[in-house]
């Protein structure tokens, strides 16, 4: 066991020297924002010993070197929009916020890429690309508030991953501060790279446990001119999910294929106080397609309509994009409004197994007498199941939830699925990670962690236990 | 320095027990095929002490455990089509050929993926997908002979990477035998995965230095119905390269954008004994586009034609695909025919810098009085420059080449480029890798290597020196 040291006043003074007094905070009242992420519940609230808000990679490197010298945990922090408590200081330490590394450094049109600092909001990246006629294809649902650095650290997915992949596929390179406080660029402006190990790909999704991201090279592409959103309403979960493979095999490559179950739809409806189409009994499949000509889109639209209708859809509508995406994106908030405490599961399974998972969740929900709402990035096999505490006494909830999760993931792993499709493991799923991950894989991960962070200071207590 | 042990008769006997006498070879005559890859020249020929040809992952694991116990190098071997000597036994040891792990295990249409063994030829994977109406998008030029396992180990690129990415983007999961002889699956049938470190992505491109690939999960997609190849002929390198960014910014996403310089074209022409269009002075840009309708392709075709013509192309033709790709793919063979000894450089730079590289190569070729022919996967920034020895005395060649390479890569690194876009480092580029890679990055790579292969037995002497 690593023995971490406390942050002493002398260390706080040293940190102030690096970043300036103004950007060092040890005042509990002012640290509230940094004490949690999007996961609710007192047990997920922890205060760091100090929050530092550096401006440059060099400052971050200097901070990390102090932490290394003293063996103090360093918790990299983005916008705090995560669903896994990866950016919460469960073991004290120095929280390094990237909010002041907030510059778009370069828009390199000739090379179709942008160079951005980690603290730029995802939506700002999207807007900067959009304004020049380009698309940045990463689009997590939290994009209005999340930072691009956090997207990279968690390999954020989102609603466009069907066509464009997750954040991993958008990244050409990273500058990081290593766990030993050195600054290094991995990858860069090259589109292909077979020059040794691809360490950037290893850092992506490592949730701040291997280093701190200080610069991101991301690709952009010409923006498709036309987008169209279709809503197909099915009477059953089975029928709605069955259409997904049919669409994906048709030769049409949609941008998004989203599933919402009936309970989830009604919950959003209630939260938004808006009637959603056919919400009485319907299950939704939302399909977005994009292209450069109205014609091409219309052809695809007709094909999808025919496919859905022939496969049991009761209704296929051209959806109002604002309304339908507002509904879809409100899912988390709607559940939170229903039940402040809830567990957002991020199950990922082979695409064809989604219906099995949704049915299993329904069965388990009934057996455990817990409300579970489901949406899915259906063509990615990624099921978000929100399990609601509602008015259950806390001690019953805390007893029931782990048992339910265990049954869920026993099933998920038995069909080739995994714990997280896009939210990551963080602190919240660590015990499940330890339980369900192949021990050899876990051993390899620990070995990599030990190799790149010998002192174990980078975001300890996240993803897996360091042994 | 690790002290490796020799392969004794007792160990050969043990290996025979694992795989059967028939599949163990120590006879030098029979090992000739295994003594080199596609790199020519005596200095790149080395014999392993023994070649073992196992049938299963379990057999490979047993072999690796022996190597671990004894500290003997293990050299994983695919089809031997590499251009970096990554699969050549420069320090003796046990060569493990994957040629008998040659089964397509599963075509999972519902999940749009295939599960294949590493010894399946890339072209067989392509055919299996094609036969069912699907596309496997990996297409290295050596695809007719290369193994899919080798493609993964080197993160092979090829002519379709512009649209579909390199092999990395095709892989959903890997089964590997670790350097300690354990079998583990990383990733799998899930399209997204944020469940801890993405070790599969780390293994991809690690050239057999971190483990042996024994199973590959790759994605397939509906096959585009129509393909069209255009040939634009430009009077100068500058004009031809300048069109690449314009095409990529137009909103058209081609499958391939290939560049051939005039000297390269003439060399291929001579080798094939076939007249190529406008070969007198032309530089080629070959653009392939694909889609599902004739109409859509024609629209794109007209747009590309107009773009090229407005930007200095002398001719834009719809190319005979067989002829033009035969010419393009013969580039390596044509150079080999001109000069058995040649150095195939695999420079990668930001796309917009290709013209600078090609001009620099022309200037250096003149100064060193060496023939250099260039082709490029232009929209990927990947320049293959073949430097020909021709009739230069060997000692002069061996003196000149490193000096020339040093000047090339000084330049390449100064503009943000790298040593290898798709061929890898292997043994051939190791010294250049050591020289030009950021020391911090190299340190991180070495740390990862040490973590995952503590005994240093997996393909030692490749990519970088183990310290």
Q: Give pLDDT tens digits along chain A (467 positions).
A: 899 999 999 999 999 999 999 999 999 999 999 999 999 889 999 999 999 999 999 999 999 999 999 999 999 999 999 999 999 999 999 999 999 999 999 999 999 999 999 999 999 999 999 999 999 999 998 899 999 999 999 999 988 999 999 999 999 999 999 999 999 999 999 999 999 999 999 999 999 999 999 999 999 999 999 999 999 999 999 999 999 999 999 999 999 999 999 999 999 999 999 999 999 999 999 999 998 888 889 999 999 999 999 999 999 999 999 999 999 989 989 999 999 999 999 999 999 999 999 999 999 999 999 999 999 999 999 999 999 999 999 999 999 999 999 999 999 999 999 999 999 999 999 999 999 999 999 999 999 999 999 999 999 999 999 97
Length of chain A: 467
**Which chain A residues contact residue B221 at CB under 8 A?**
253
Q: Which residue in the set B199, B205, B221 is minimally distant from A444, CB to CB?
A: B199
Q: Is the dihedral of CA B109, B113, B115, B118 positive or negative?
A: positive
Q: Is the dihedral of CA A307, A308, A311, A314 positive or negative?
A: negative
Predicted ipTM > 0.85? yes
Q: Which candidate, B386, B393, B283, places its Cα nearest to that of B337?
A: B386
* Contact in structure between A156 and A422 (CB atoms under 8 Å): yes
* Contact in structure between A173 and A189 (CB atoms under 8 Å): yes
Contact at CB, B195 and A225, closer than 8 angstroms: no
**Which chain B residues contact residue A253 at CB under 8 A?**
221
3-state DSSP helix/strand/coil % of chain A, to nearest 5 = 40, 20, 35
> Which whole-number Å values give the CA distances from A19 to A12, A16, A53, B379, in the listed order?
11, 5, 7, 42
In the three-class reduction of DSSP (H, G, I as helix; E, B as strand; rest coil), residue A193 is classed as coil
The Cα A309–Cα A235 span in angstroms is 12
* Model pLDDT for residues B423-443, shown as the tens digit of each residue: 999 999 999 999 999 999 999
3-state DSSP helix/strand/coil % of chain B, to nearest 5 = 40, 20, 35
* Model pLDDT for residues B3-41, shown as the tens digit of each residue: 999 999 999 999 999 999 999 999 999 999 999 999 988
* Model pLDDT for residues B283-321, shown as the tens digit of each residue: 999 999 998 888 889 999 999 999 999 999 999 999 999
Contact at CB, A194 and B422, closer than 8 angstroms: yes
Residue B29 neighbours by CB under 8 Å, 6+ apart:
none
> Which whole-number Å values give the CA distances from A464 to A206, B162, B191, B195, B413, in the listed order?
11, 37, 22, 10, 38
- Residue reference for tokens 């808000």: A53
Contact at CB, A192 and B348, closer than 8 angstroms: yes
| pTM for this predicted structure | 0.97
- Phi then psi for residue B88, to 5 deg, are -120, 140
* Contact in structure between A155 and B198 (CB atoms under 8 Å): yes
* Contact in structure between B158 and B257 (CB atoms under 8 Å): no
Count the neighbouring beta carbons within 10 Å of the beta carbon of residue A299: 18
Written as six digits, the tokens of B277 are 């269009």
**Which chain A residues contact residue B299 at CB under 8 A?**
293
- Which residue segments constitute the domains of chain B, with CATH numbers given? 1-223 (3.30.465.10), 226-329 (3.30.70.2190), 339-428 (3.30.70.2740)
pLDDT at A81: 95
* Model pLDDT for residues A409-460, shown as the tens digit of each residue: 999 999 999 999 999 999 999 999 999 999 999 999 999 999 999 999 999 9
- B150, B171, B186, B191, best to mutate vs chain A, most A CBs in 10 Å: B191
* Contact in structure between B143 and B125 (CB atoms under 8 Å): no
The Cα A394–Cα A129 span in angstroms is 46
The Cα B353–Cα A239 span in angstroms is 51
Mean of pLDDT values over B107-122: 97
Written as six digits, the tokens of A185 are 């660029």
- B196, B241, B417, best to mutate vs chain A, most A CBs in 10 Å: B196
- A114, A165, A170, A196, best to mutate vs chain B, most B CBs in 10 Å: A196
* Contact in structure between A135 and A129 (CB atoms under 8 Å): yes
pLDDT at B393: 97
């Amino acid at each position: 066991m690593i023995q971490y040291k406390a942050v002493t006043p002398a260390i706080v003074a040293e940190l102030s020297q690096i970043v300036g007094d103004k950007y060092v905070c040890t005042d509990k009242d002012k640290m509230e924002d940094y004490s949690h992420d999007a996961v609710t519940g007192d047990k997920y609230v922890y205060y760091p010993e100090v929050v530092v808000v550096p401006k440059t990679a060099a400052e971050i490197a200097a901070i990390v070197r102090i932490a290394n010298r003293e063996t103090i945990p360093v918790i990299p922090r983005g916008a705090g929009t995560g669903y896994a408590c990866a950016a919460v200081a469960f073991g004290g330490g120095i929280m390094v916020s990237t909010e002041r590394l907030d510059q778009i450094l370069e828009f390199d049109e000739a090379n179709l890429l942008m160079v951005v600092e980690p603290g730029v909001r995802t939506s700002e990246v999207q807007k900067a690309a959009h304004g020049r006629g380009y698309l940045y294809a990463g689009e997590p649902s939290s994009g209005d508030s999340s930072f691009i650095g956090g997207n990279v650290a968690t390999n954020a997915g989102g609603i466009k991953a069907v066509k464009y992949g997750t954040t991993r596929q958008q990244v050409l390179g990273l500058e990081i501060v290593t766990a030993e406080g050195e600054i290094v660029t991995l990858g860069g402006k090259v589109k292909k790279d077979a020059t040794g190990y691809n360490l950037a790909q290893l850092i992506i999704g490592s949730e701040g446990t291997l280093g701190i991201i200080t610069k991101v090279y991301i690709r952009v592409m010409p923006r498709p001119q036309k987008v169209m959103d279709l809503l197909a309403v099915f009477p059953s979960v089975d029928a709605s999910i069955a259409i997904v493979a049919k669409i994906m095999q048709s030769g049409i490559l949609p941008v998004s294929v989203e599933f919402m179950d009936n309970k989830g739809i009604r919950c959003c409806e209630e939260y938004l106080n808006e009637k959603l189409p056919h919400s009485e009994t319907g299950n939704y499949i939302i399909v977005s397609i994009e292209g450069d000509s109205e014609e091409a889109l219309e052809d695809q639209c007709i094909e999808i309509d025919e496919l859905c209708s022939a496969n049991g859809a009761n209704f296929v509508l051209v959806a109002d994009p604002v309304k339908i995406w507002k509904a879809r994106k409100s899912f988390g908030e709607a559940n939170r409004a229903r039940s402040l405490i809830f567990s957002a599961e991020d199950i990922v399974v082979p695409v064809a197994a989604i219906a099995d998972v949704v049915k299993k969740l329904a069965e388990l929900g009934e057996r455990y007498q817990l409300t579970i709402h489901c949406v899915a990035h259906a063509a990615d096999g990624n099921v978000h199941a929100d399990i609601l505490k509602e008015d259950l006494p806390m001690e019953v909830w805390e007893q029931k939830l782990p048992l339910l999760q265990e049954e869920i993931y026993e099933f998920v792993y038995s069909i080739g699925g995994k714990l997280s499709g896009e939210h990551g493991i963080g602190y919240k799923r660590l015990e499940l990670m330890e339980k369900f991950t192949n021990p050899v894989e876990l051993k390899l991960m620990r070995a990599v962690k030990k190799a790149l962070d010998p002192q174990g200071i980078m975001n300890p207590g996240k993803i897996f236990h360091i042994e």
